[in-house]
Amino acid sequence: MTTMSSTRKWNFSAGPGVLPESLIQQAQQDIWDLAGTGIGVMEHSHRGPAITEVFEAARNKCREVGNIPDDFEILFLQGGASLQFAMIPMAFLNSNSHADYINTGSWTSKAIDEARRFGNVDVLWDGASEKFSRIPTGEDYSWNEQSKYSYYCSNNTIYGTRWPQTPTSPTPLIADMSSEMFARAIDWESHDMVYAGAQKNLGPAGVTMVIIRRSLLEQASTDLPMMLRYDVFAKNGSMYNTPPVFAVYCVSLMFQWILDQGGLAGIEAMNEHKAGLIYRTIDESDGFYKGHAAKSDRSLMNITFRCPTEELEAAFIKEAAEHDMANLKGHRSVGGLRASVYNAFPEAGCHQLAQFMNEFARKNG
């Protein structure tokens, strides 16, 4: 596991999130001179052999790390996850057709709003009245057989919930995995498309990973601007226009880093252990800390919790910062505290936070 150098803080940011130190060090070298070419990775033509190789490696390693079947295309897009909120309904929906959505938080709410611009949306379940503190079970909703697609968000960054199991749907299943892609294995039988803005668990901001089954890709509308067509990106190796080269280069290093940690099985075990250290501290605090998410639906990436008062939460954030622990404030829409512990977040930082939490509760409880 990566250790933290003395000048860097424990960064609990929800995104852009922490990157492995070995990745940053490699990038520092390659920004200066990529693989002995005498030209930095950000200065190469994207049409030249050096960057073609970077893209090939990124796709190959992505397929290897994610165990992605051959009938899925791996695309590198721009516009962030938010563009996917619109691009998906533009591609697959129209005013005569329906799509199913499950609303588990702010990001699915936004996706629903965007989809309504292009077609009919059935919200099968809405967690708003329960403050998005849980994920529905199979008994809470049922998919429509006639939908063009079914949509959910596998990990809810703001509320700290995640789907413990992949839902199964009779129509093509699409998942926003922005805050957890490659934190655990993906069930490719059940999904037809998954996507993620890279800046949380995969690399820097600037690239959006889209992994889409060819049979779904073939159904996407082609009556759209070129930059909004999945088929254009697939046909052009994600280089229809100038791609975000540096971001793709970084996610490729990240894929290799995950492989070096034992792949997704290794990473998932580490994530369970790391998040477990903090959840245990919450559960054993005699009610001083209260977790937001239902226990069965707790995210391993974004841990959301509260102190008894807002004043104590402000003191918590201030004192934690004095101990080099940064970005623990909850999202502005929900308040409280949030510790984001993505793949690259070191275990030692989780120990330090748990220790600090115990001490803070002892002093203020």
Ligand X SMILES: Cc1ncc(COP(=O)(O)O)c(C=O)c1O
Active-site residue numbers?
A: 107, 176, 200
Q: Is residue 80 a contact residue for ligand X (CB under 6 A)?
A: yes
* Closest distance to ligand X from the beta carbon of 190 (Å): 19
Among 54, 81, 202, 341, binds ligand X (CB under 6 A): 81
Q: Which is nearer to ligand X, 15 or 349 (CB)?
A: 15
- Closest-CA residue to 11 (of 321, 337, 356, 360): 321
Among 22, 52, 82, 364, binds ligand X (CB under 6 A): 82
* Closest distance to ligand X from the beta carbon of 358 (Å): 29
Q: Whole-angstrom Cα distance, residue 46 to residue 35?
A: 15
Residues 187-207 as b/e (b if ≥16 CB within 10 A, e otherwise) read ebeebbbbbbbbbbbbbbebb
Q: Which is nearer to ligand X, 74 or 196 (CB)?
A: 196
311 near 364, Cβ under 8 Å? no
DSSP letters of 269-307? HHHHHHHHHHHHHHHTSTTSSEESS-GGGB-SSEEEEE-
Q: Whole-angstrom Cα distance, residue 253 to residue 138?
A: 38
Q: Is residue 107 a contact residue for ligand X (CB under 6 A)?
A: yes
Q: How far is CA 259 from CA 39, 59, 208, in A?
A: 27, 14, 20
Amino acid at 359: E
Among 176, 192, 231, 313, binds ligand X (CB under 6 A): 176
DSSP SS3 for 239 = coil
Stretch that binds ligand X, among 61-69, 133-141, 172-180, 291-299 (CB under 6 A): 172-180
Contact string 267-306 vs ligand X (x = CB under 6 A) = ----------------------------------------
- Closest-CA residue to 291 (of 343, 346, 352, 357): 357
Contact string 179-218 vs ligand X (x = CB under 6 A) = x-----------------x---------------------
* Closest distance to ligand X from the beta carbon of 91 (Å): 17
Q: Which is nearer to ligand X, 196 or 325 (CB)?
A: 196
Q: Which is nearer to ligand X, 205 or 312 (CB)?
A: 205
Q: Which residue has the tokens 């009245």?
A: 129
Q: Which is nearer to ligand X, 157 or 261 (CB)?
A: 157
Contact string 15-54 vs ligand X (x = CB under 6 A) = x---------------------------------------
CA angle at residue 285 from 279 to 289, to 5 degrees?
70
Among 54, 102, 112, 153, binds ligand X (CB under 6 A): 153
15 near 181, Cβ under 8 Å? no
* Closest distance to ligand X from the beta carbon of 81 (Å): 3
Interacting residues toward ligand X by CB under 6 A: 15, 80-82, 107, 153, 157, 176, 178-179, 197
